[in-house]
Each structure stands twice: as C-alpha cells, then as structure tokens.
Amino acid sequence: MDNLNANTKRKVAFYIRVSTEEQASKEISSLDSQEDLLHRYIEQRKKNGYELVAIYREEGLSGTSVRDRP
C-alpha cells in the first residue's frame, strides 16, 4: 500500500478542525470522529514505520474572518 520499506520511519502529526458548531455536532465530522479515524490509519501503518508524535485540535474557530482568528 505505502511505498515505504519497513526500515523507513515517518513521524506524523494530526491537524484536525471544525469551524462551526454544526460540524462539531455531526458524528461523521466531529473532532473525536476525525481523531479516531486518523488513529486507525496510523495503527494500520505502524509496520511501515509511521509514528504519531502530535495532535493539533482546532475547535470551532472559523477561518472566514481574520478578526476572529487566534
């Protein structure tokens, strides 16, 4: 599946976000659902050297206006 050999190490960080309360409340797009999906993705690829090193979560911050961005 991956074009990596077993000796190649890949450090992986997740960046997950929702920008509205509506997205956050939907089961398929909630932060927890996104994180769970990505954890399963990494778990399936551990034998190929993937290692999760960080998770970045952005909750409910809209990118439509620079005024409200952190």
Question: What confidence tens digit (pLDDT) does each residue in 16-64 have?
Answer: 988 766 665 666 678 888 899 999 999 999 999 999 999 998 876 655 6
Asked if the structure places residue 22 within a domain, the reply is yes
Asked if the structure places residue 2 within a domain, the reply is no
Q: Is the pLDDT confidence value at 15 over 60?
A: yes
Asked if the structure places residue 37 within a domain, the reply is yes
Range of the domain at 21: 10-62
Measured CA to CA, the distance from residue 17 to residue 32 in angstroms comes to 10
Asked if the structure places residue 49 within a domain, the reply is yes
Asked if the structure places residue 70 within a domain, the reply is no
Asked if the structure places residue 23 within a domain, the reply is yes
In 3D space, the residue among 54, 64, 56, 60 whose CA is nearest the CA of residue 16 turns out to be 56
Number of domains the chain is built from: 1
Asked if the structure places residue 69 within a domain, the reply is no
Q: What is the pLDDT of residue 64?
A: 60
What values do phi and psi take at 50, rounded to 5? -75, 135
Q: What is the pLDDT of residue 20?
A: 66
Asked if the structure places residue 5 within a domain, the reply is no
* pLDDT tens column, 28-40: 678 888 899 999 9
